[in-house]
Structures are given as structure tokens and as C-alpha cells.
Structure 1
Amino acid sequence: MDTPYLRKLSDPALDNPIFIQGLPGFGNVGRIAAHFLIKFCDAKPFAELYSPSFPDYISITSKGIAHLPRYEFYYAPMEKNTLIIMTGEIQPSFDDVVAHYEVCDYVVDFVEKLGCHFMVTMGGVPITEDKTQVYIAATSPRLATEFMEKGGVIYSKGRIVGGTGLTLALAKERKIDGVSLLGTTLGFKADKNAGFSVFKFLMKALGKEIKEGLAENNQIEES
């Protein structure tokens, strides 16, 4: 394998699909938010992406089963859309810029072929004070204003590193609209509260209110 490789597990019907990405990064916020979403929507896996740019180790499941590092795609039918949710345990090395472009472009190419015209990428943004907030960056002023009116704060004059930002920017080049949702986190330690805040904000934006205390009562658990 010398290039990214996609393996389809099934071919579900996708009605006006929205792509949602949550990868590891600051506070693991994006990945945690994605797992909340997968659990809440009872999303089902339908594809896996492998790449030689991923780290050179294997992952072991709780049942002792080994597999290569990968991105996993899930689908979840909603009232008006089908959600396509992508997550994974890894990203290419942050030192390998070419690998990031290659993998993110492959992801955008795949979801574009599936008919996605809108996407959401989720991640974390480090802060020095304990304050829960969701920052937003968008592909257009209209979307930035729309999500600000939903309770987000414009993320201005900053950078979004890794797949969270690059996937969105590459999608914009293909005329795909989208936003990044960035939960505030104090550092690199897995931040379940920040992940839940991003998940809750996303569901509100999709028209579904999430009750406070849902995660704490273990009605949704991040895996």
C-alpha cells in the first residue's frame, strides 16, 4: 500500500448527506464529540480509510483483535439528512505536511462523490483559563454569522492545525460549504466535557436539543 486506500463495508442509501469529522487533537475534543454523535444517533459503520502516512503501529480492540490505523466512516439517517460521521484514533504526523494534504484531499474526494454539499469538522482549541466555549470558523461570512447566532464565538486571527482545518479548507476549494466547531480545552489530556459541549452545540445546530447532564448520567458514553 503506497497510497490511501478505502474499503467499503456496505452501500447505504444517503439522503442529502452532511459530513461530520472528529479526529484526535487538542484535548481529543473532536474524536470525543464524534463518538458522542455516533452513540446518540446509533450510527453504523460503512467504510474504512487506510494510509501509509498513518503511524507504524497496530491497534488492539478490547477483545484482543488487531487492526491497522484507520479512519472509520459511519452513517446515521435523520429526518431531513443522512449524517456521515468520520473519526479515528490517529492523524498523519504533524511534521508530514504532504501526508496531511493527501489524506484530507482523499477524504474530501470521497464525501463529495457521496453527494455531500455541507460539512462540519470538530476539534479543540487550547486556552489558559477554564471556560467552556465553542469557537467557529466557516467557509463563508454567511455561515459564520449563522453559527454565531446559534451561540458560537467567531475564531478570528488564529490557526486550525491538522485535519480539522485542512479538510474544511480543501472542501471550500471545491465549493463545499462547511464550518469548524472548536471546543475550548485546557490542554492535551482527553477533555470529555469539551467534547460534549461541541456535540451539544452541533445537535442544536441540527435542530435537536440535548439535555444537560446527559453524558454525566451515562446515557451517552464516549468509547
Structure 2
Amino acid sequence: MIIEIKETKKLDFKNPVLIEGFPGVGMIGTISTFYIVEKLGLDLIGEIVSSHFPPVTSIHEFKPLSPARVYGSVEKNIIVLFSEFVIPAEIVYSLSNKIIDYALSKNVRVIYSFAGIGVENPPDVVYGIASNDEVAEELKRNKISLIKEGATQGVSGVLISQCALRNFPAANLLIPTDKLLDPRASAKLINVSSKLIGFELNTDELIREANEIEKKIKGSFDKVKSMSSDYKNFQEQQAIYD
């Protein structure tokens, strides 16, 4: 097994929207998807597992959870995937195609990837990359500026290229940021994408409690990173005595 999306709860979706947000520039993907999950009260419906992932379990509200999780709601007709750690580079390609396979199995109508672009003095704009012309037109109707030339990376970068190759409707929604963690930019991205994803979400709390949310996300991310590093060091020390 390289990577797998395991369902823990079966839901009968009808052409839902799928949003993915993995750690990256400004932690935009993680912050925005985490906020959407909390404010919509989405159900935990699965986890993303891989032998390449760090051997770490997250604990939230007294519950042990996989750091890479899947949430959803039939009522909201939405599926959200996110992770509390950076996906190892060697399995990004496999994960991207696994997400498309999962989306096909759920009859997902479109995949949206939330991410950030690192720039100095961020302009007041949201950029987009579309997998096909139909999605591109939808982005333009919602005043999202399409990127004509450039490059993108990470899960969202590989995912959009694979969606284009497999002719699956998808878009990267990218917001400029100059911060390591940027809840305010995340709030703007949620607001701009509200018409695309089919509902409006009040982001006042995200902006008002930006500092607290930064600490919460950073604390969780740092713990996973630290524990993964500690485990690796332990393995190396054990190898000396083998």
C-alpha cells in the first residue's frame, strides 16, 4: 500500500464539491479547510493512510485522530480533505491520483484546491488554475484571475495537472500571502470561493480570532513535525545497536 483513502462512515452524496487543503504557503489550505469543517459541523467520514506517513496520531477534544482526515456532509453536499503535516514528496503523485479516484467514486462534480502563493506586498486578488475550459469560465465569472504562465507545486500542483490529464473538473484557488500562517488571507479565499462551493460562510470569527487560530494550527503542526522527527531519531539510534 502506497496510500489509501479509508472510509469510516458511508454517506450517499449527490454530485458533491470536494475541497482539499494541505499544508503549504501561509498554511492557507489547512487553515481554510479546518475552519470550513468546524463551522459547518462536518462529520468525520474517513482518513488518508500511508506507510510513508509519520507514525503520529493527533488528539482533538480528547479524541485520537489521524492527522490526515476526510470530512463530509450530505446536507451541505461537500467533502473536505486536509492534513496536519506536509505530505512526503515521494507520494504526492500517488495521493493526487488517489484523490481523483475517490472523487470519481463519489460522483464529485468538481475539485477545488485551496492554497497560497508567497509574494512580497500581496495584491488584493485571488488567482486560479483550471483543469478545463468550462471550469476556467466559471472562475472568470467569479472574478478569479487565471494564471497564464508560471508553475505550481505540492499536492494541489500535481493534482491540477492530473485532473487536466484525466479531464476531471478542478481548480486551484490561490491567494497571495507574505506570512507563515495567514488566517486573514484564508478568510478572504473562503469568501471569494463561496459562490463556487455553493454556500456562504461567515468568516468574521476567523478574522477576529486570527491570532488564536494561528497558535492552534501552528501548535498542532509543530507537534506532528516534532514527534515525527523524534521517532526518526529514535529509529536511527536503535539502528546503531542492531
**Residue aligning to 2:117:** 125
Structure 1 gaps, min length 5:
none
1:61 partnered with 2:53: no
The code of the aligned residue for 2:189 comes to V
Shift of 1:146: 2.3
Measure, in 1, the Cα distance between the counterparts of 2:19 and 2:122. 26
**Residue aligning to 1:91:** 86
Contact 1:137–1:179, Cα closer than 8 Å, also in 2: yes
Measure, in 2, the Cα distance between the counterparts of 1:172 and 1:62. 36
Contact 1:76–1:84, Cα closer than 8 Å, also in 2: yes
The code of the aligned residue for 1:58 comes to V
Contact 1:36–1:199, Cα closer than 8 Å, also in 2: no
Which deviates more, 173-182 or 204-213? 204-213
The code of the aligned residue for 1:146 comes to E
Shift of 1:171: 2.2
Contact 1:132–1:194, Cα closer than 8 Å, also in 2: no
* 2:38 match: secondary structure: helix
Number of residue equivalences: 213
- Residues 91 and 216 of structure 1, relative CA distance in 2, 3 Å threshold: closer
- Residues 6 and 147 of structure 1, relative CA distance in 2, 3 Å threshold: closer
**Identity over aligned pairs, percent:** 17
Measure, in 2, the Cα distance between the counterparts of 1:206 and 1:102. 25
Measure, in 1, the Cα distance between the counterparts of 2:203 and 2:94. 39
**Residue aligning to 1:20:** 19
Contact 1:58–1:66, Cα closer than 8 Å, also in 2: no
Shift of 1:63: 5.6
Counterpart among 64, 77, 80 of residue 74 in structure 2: 77
Structure 2 gaps, min length 5:
218-242
TM-score of the superposition, structure 2-length normalised?
Answer: 0.78
**Residue aligning to 1:177:** 169
- Residues 115 and 208 of structure 1, relative CA distance in 2, 3 Å threshold: closer
- Residues 106 and 46 of structure 1, relative CA distance in 2, 3 Å threshold: same
Structure having greater relative contact order (Cα 8 Å, sep ≥ 6): 1
* 2:9 match: secondary structure: coil
**Residue aligning to 2:8:** 9
Q: What is the RMSD of the two structures over their aligned residues, measured on CA atoms?
A: 2.5
Shift of 1:201: 1.4
**Residue aligning to 1:101:** 93
Measure, in 2, the Cα distance between the counterparts of 1:51 and 1:58. 12
The code of the aligned residue for 2:162 comes to L
Measure, in 2, the Cα distance between the counterparts of 1:92 and 1:215. 25
The code of the aligned residue for 1:51 comes to S
Which deviates more, 23-32 or 171-180? 171-180
TM-score of the superposition, structure 1-length normalised?
Answer: 0.83
The code of the aligned residue for 2:207 comes to E
